[in-house]
Amino acid sequence: MTHRKPLIAGNWKMYKSVAAAVATVLELKPLVSNANHCEVLIAPPFTAIKTVADRVEGSNLFVAGQDVAAEGAEGAFTGEVGAEMLREAGCTHVIVGHSERRQFYGETDERVARKARRALDAGLIPIICIGETLAEREAGQAEAVVERQIKESTATLTAEDLIRIVAAYEPVWAIGTGRAATPEIAQAMHHNVRGVFENVFGSEAASSVRILYGGSVKPENIAEYMREPDVDGALVGGASLQPDSFSKIVFYNRD
């Protein structure tokens, strides 16, 4: 089986001033500097990206944007930030299709697919988020919803692209609620997602792509997710804001 290096990603959402972001990252950097078993990434708000990226240069920390324009490198798109701009500011990755973007800003699978394409074309790794709502799960539609999201959100990609992207399964009912999915639920959905990738892109690409779990991940529960065969890391919101809790998640393999 292809070795998939785990990725632990922190999404800071709309938290932290530039000063607070710098303070956090300066504290985090030495705490995770010898994390060789996984990749570590943080996604600060746009305003702090450049400063944070400058401070982590040469370290093992990757920096991501939380969103990217679906349009071109530049243009009359007020409020948008292009993929090349993120690259220039020091990003290597970008989150696309986070459920908060889908829920509050009308993000569609079609737009997510265009954003993923833009990211790849600019040399960024897109972290493509998918996940069902509570109503969809209770109606027995979780698998169908996630299957549709992942197919349509990767519609612009080839098998070669798939190897470079990261997928993140984040059930909406588990985000910021303290109600984490069980490792069994996560594993079952990750397995389904990999199955969709296999059907669309072939088994080689499907076995290489990393699938993160997200939704109330904490230092106390990360190890049980990481034991599941199709869970290749985590996308962490609340618990990524503090260096102490985030570094404990990074070192999920320690007792």
State the residue number with the nearest CB to ligand PEP. 237
Residues 6+ positions from 95 with CB-CB distance below 8 Å: 9, 11, 43, 64, 65, 66, 67, 126, 127, 129, 168, 235
Nearest-approach distance from CB 11 to ligand PEP, in angstroms: 5
Nearer to ligand PEP, 25 or 129 (CB): 129
Nearest-approach distance from CB 212 to ligand PEP, in angstroms: 9
Q: Contact region for ligand PEP (CB under 6 A) — 62-70, 144-152, 185-193, 212-220?
A: 212-220
Does the footprint of ligand PEP cover residue 245 (CB under 6 A)? no
Q: Which helix (H) or strand (E) holds 134?
A: helix 134-138
Q: How far apart are CA 205 and CA 194, in angstroms?
A: 9
Q: Which residue in the list 93, 98, 100, 147 is annotated as catalytic?
A: 98
Does the footprint of ligand PEP cover residue 238 (CB under 6 A)? yes
Tokens (6 digits) for 35: 């994390």
Q: Contact region for ligand PEP (CB under 6 A) — 17-25, 39-47, 56-64, 215-223?
A: 215-223
Does the footprint of ligand PEP cover residue 131 (CB under 6 A)? no
Q: Where are the beta strands (DSSP E) in 82-232?
A: 93-96, 125-130, 166-169, 210-214
End-to-end CA distance of the chain: 27
Does the footprint of ligand PEP cover residue 96 (CB under 6 A)? no
Q: How far apart are CA 6 and CA 9, in angstroms?
A: 10
Nearest-approach distance from CB 95 to ligand PEP, in angstroms: 8
The DSSP output letter for 181 is P
For residue 134, give Cα distances in angstroms to 137, 170, 172: 5, 12, 7
Nearest-approach distance from CB 135 to ligand PEP, in angstroms: 18
122, 84 in Cβ contact below 8 A?
A: yes
The residue from 6, 8, 11, 81 that contacts ligand PEP (CB under 6 A) is 11
- Residue 84 among the catalytic residues: no
- Residue 204 among the catalytic residues: no
Does the footprint of ligand PEP cover residue 233 (CB under 6 A)? no
28, 248 in Cβ contact below 8 A?
A: no
Does the footprint of ligand PEP cover residue 237 (CB under 6 A)? yes
Active-site annotation, residues: 98, 170
Question: What does the binding site for ligand PEP look like in residue numbers (CB under 6 A)?
Answer: 11, 170, 175-176, 214-217, 235-239
